């Protein structure tokens, strides 16, 4: 039983990988290794077939039950697999959110119906001849083939897990830099906003001083009129007015000097703060560009090419920006080669 399941798993993982490659070729007119692993296998198909063969094999003679069972079983596997990848690696390698009647974007009715049809065809048409052929394979030969293949599979699986973890680390670094850039930009905006409000307050104080000048002028005019009516005390009134005007001029002068000094200090502080933040912003932008332009490993490039619609549930915007930068770089290289030709 274990031996047969080990054979079925590898065979159907390979057949599933071939199906994914063929589907992508028909859709995109190009080749892409559509498996999660580096090797030509899609384990989710191997697991799915094992579930169908071992759990629904007895129902192969009942078309209706077989269809419903395959639809439910394969949809459940897809749901659990998508959820597990999402929670473990924070990645969505397939997403049916735009499809009608979907459940969390992990499964949808359209593909569930296809899984039902595929399950019926598999158990009734595809599996019997494959099982017959594998049963004719000598056990020693089968083990001779299985052991090295499973060793390679295990190494490939561990390598892929490390690649996914490395991808998340790269995304985390980029996301942290992008957050810092937004924070610095917000601080620059806040500094400009506060400085502007200070200038407005100082201008309002200046308007109050202008009003004070006007009031002083009116007081002077009133005192002048009173002085004409009270000629005997003219000298005394003039001295009082002169003293009052001198005090007012000094007060106004001190006020204007304070405003000029405050405005100068505000401008200097704002310029100093903005220059420091600009320097920090330039440093962060350089880090982001350097990290974005650094060529990712082959494993990461392969995954992004194999799953162009993949998205990160934790670093969604960062992943999309990074994919856009990588795509732009590839397009620029292609245009450069065309120009040289």
pLDDT in tens, 308-335: 777 887 887 777 777 777 766 655 555 5
Domain residue spans of the chain: 2-137, 178-334
> Are the C-beta atoms of residues 291 and 325 closer than 8 Å to each other?
no
CA dist., res. 210 & res. 200, Å (int): 15
d(CA 175, CA 315): 7
The answer to whether 316 and 168 have CB atoms below 8 angstroms apart is: no
Count of alpha carbons within 13 angstroms of residue 103, beta-carbon side? 13
Asked if residues 69 and 56 have their Cβ atoms less than 8 Å apart, the reply is: yes
Can you give the pLDDT of all 341 residues of the chain as single tens digits? 899 999 999 999 999 999 888 887 888 777 777 778 888 999 999 999 999 999 998 888 899 999 999 999 999 999 999 999 888 888 888 889 889 999 989 999 999 999 999 999 999 999 999 999 999 999 999 999 999 999 999 999 999 999 888 888 888 888 788 778 777 777 777 767 766 666 556 655 555 555 555 654 554 555 455 545 544 444 554 555 455 545 555 554 555 555 555 555 556 666 666 666 677 667 667 666 666 666 777 777 778 777 777 788 788 777 777 777 776 665 555 555 555 55
Per-residue pLDDT reduced to its tens digit, 117-176: 999 999 999 999 999 999 999 999 999 999 999 999 999 999 999 988 888 888 888 878
């Amino acid at each position: 039983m274990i031996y047969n399941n080990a054979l079925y798993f590898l065979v159907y993982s390979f057949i599933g990988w071939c199906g994914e490659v063929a589907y992508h070729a028909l859709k995109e007119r190009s080749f892409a290794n559509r498996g999660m692993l580096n090797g030509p296998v899609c384990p989710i198909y191997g697991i799915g077939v094992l579930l169908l063969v071992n759990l629904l094999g007895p129902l192969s003679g009942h078309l209706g039950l077989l269809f419903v069972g395959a639809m439910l079983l394969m949809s459940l596997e897809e749901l659990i697999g998508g959820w597990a990848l999402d929670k473990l690696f924070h990645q969505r390698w397939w997403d049916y959110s735009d499809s009608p009647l979907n459940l969390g974007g992990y499964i949808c009715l359209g593909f569930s119906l296809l899984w039902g049809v595929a399950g019926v065809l598999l158990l009734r048409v595809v599996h019997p001849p494959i099982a017959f052929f594998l049963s004719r394979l000598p056990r020693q030969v089968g083990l001779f083939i299985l052991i090295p293949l499973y060793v390679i599979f295990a190494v490939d699986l561990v390598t892929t897990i490390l690649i996914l973890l490395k991808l998340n680390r790269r995304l985390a670094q980029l996301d942290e830099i992008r957050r810092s850039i937004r924070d610095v930009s917000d601080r620059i905006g806040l500094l400009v906003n506060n400085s502007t409000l200070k200038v407005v307050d100082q201008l309002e104080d200046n308007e109050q001083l202008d009003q004070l000048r006007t009031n002083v002028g009116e007081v002077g005019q009133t005192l002048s009129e009173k002085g004409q009516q009270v000629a005997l005390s003219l000298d005394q009134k003039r001295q009082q007015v002169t003293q009052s005007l001198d005090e007012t001029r000094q007060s106004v002068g001190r006020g204007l000097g304070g405003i000029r000094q405050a405005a100068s200090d505000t401008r200097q502080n704002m310029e100093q703060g903005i220059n420091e933040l600009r320097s920090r912003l330039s440093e962060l932008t350089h880090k982001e560009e350097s990290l974005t332009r650094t060529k990712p490993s082959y494993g990461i490039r392969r995954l992004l090419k194999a799953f162009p619609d993949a998205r990160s549930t934790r670093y969604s915007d960062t992943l999309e920006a990074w994919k856009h930068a990588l795509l732009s770089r590839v397009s620029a290289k292609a245009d450069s080669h065309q120009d040289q030709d």
